[in-house]
Amino acid sequence: MRKSFLAGLTAALWAPACLAQEAGGIDEAINTAIAPVSNAIVSVVFYSVPVLGAQLPLIVVWLVVAAAIATFYFNFISFRAFGHAVDLIKGDYSNPKDAGEVSHFQALATALSGTVGLGNIAGVAIAISIGGPGATFWMILAGLMGMSLKFAECTLGVKYRNEYADGTVSGGPMYYMSKGLAEKNMAGLGKFLAVFFAICCIAGALGGGNMFQANQSFQQFVNVTGGEGSFMADKGWLFGLVVAFLVGAVIIGGIKSIAKVTEKVVPFMAVVYCTAAIIIILFNIDKVPGAFVAIFTGAFSPEGVAGGAIGALIQGFKRAAFSNEAGVGSASIAHSAVRTKEPITEGLVALHEPFIDTVVICTMTALVIVITGTYTAGGGMSGVELTSLAFESAFSWFPYILAVAVLLFAFSTMLSWSYYGAKCWTYLFGENRTMDLVFKVIFCIFVVIGASMNLGPVVDFSDSAIFAMAVANIVGLYILFPVVKKELDSYWGRLKSGEIKKFAVDHVGT
Angle at 137 between CA 116 and CA 107, to 5 degrees: 25
Distance separating alpha carbons of residues 287 and 284, to the nearest angstrom: 6
Q: In the prediction, which pLDDT does 96 show?
A: 72
CATH fold of 2-492: Amino acid/polyamine transporter I (1.20.1740)
d(CA 506, CA 508): 6
pLDDT reading at 266 higher than 50: yes
pLDDT value, residue 485: 94
The pLDDT-based confidence of 16 (bands split at 50, 70, 90) is low
Q: Using the predicted structure, report yes or no on whether residue 78 has a pLDDT greater than 60.
A: yes
List, for residues 164-181, the tens digit of each pLDDT value.
Answer: 877 778 888 999 999 999
Amino acid at 220: Q
Q: Give the pLDDT score at 193.
A: 94
What is the reported pLDDT for 509?
Answer: 44
pLDDT at 448 (0 to 100): 82
State mean pLDDT over 98-117: 72
Q: Provide long-range contacts, Cβ within 8 A and 24+ apart, for 75-79.
A: 76/148, 77/148, 77/151, 77/348, 77/351, 77/488, 78/144, 78/147, 78/148, 78/151, 78/351, 78/355
pLDDT of 359-406, one tens digit each? 888 888 888 888 887 777 655 555 667 777 777 777 777 777 777 777
| Greater pLDDT, 223 or 185 | 185
pLDDT higher than threshold 70 for residue 283: yes
pLDDT value at position 231?
Answer: 62
Is the Cβ–Cβ distance between 88 and 158 less than 8 Å? no
In this prediction, residue 312 carries a pLDDT of 43
Q: What is residue 458's predicted lDDT score, i.e. its pLDDT?
A: 65
pLDDT digits (tens, 9 = 90+) for 318-367: 443 446 678 888 888 888 888 888 889 888 888 888 888 888 888 888 88
Tell me the pLDDT band of 508, cut-offs 50, 70 and 90. Answer: very low
Cβ–Cβ < 8 Å for 131, 311: yes
Q: Name the residue among 132, 92, 101 with its Cα closest to residue 378.
A: 132
pLDDT for 115: 67
Closest CA to 44 of 473, 463, 478: 463
| CA gap 227, 359 in Å, rounded | 33
Taking CA atoms, 83 is separated from 143, 352, 461, 467, in Å, by 18, 10, 39, 31
pTM over 0.85: no
Output the DSSP codes for 333-397: HHHTTB--S-HHHHHHHHTHHHIIIIIIIIHHHHHHHHHHTHHHHSTT--HHHHHHHHHHTT-TT
Q: Is pLDDT of 505 > 60? A: no
* 295-317: average pLDDT: 57
Cβ atoms 133, 124 nearer than 8 A = no
102 φ, ψ to 5°?
-135, 165
Instruction: Identify which has the larger pLDDT, 236 or 362.
Output: 362
Per-residue pLDDT at 244 exceeds 70:
yes
| Helix (H/G/I), strand (E/B), else coil: 318 | helix
Q: Per residue in 405-442, pLDDT tens?
A: 777 878 888 888 888 998 999 999 987 788 888 888 88
∠ Cα 214 150 45 (to 5°): 60
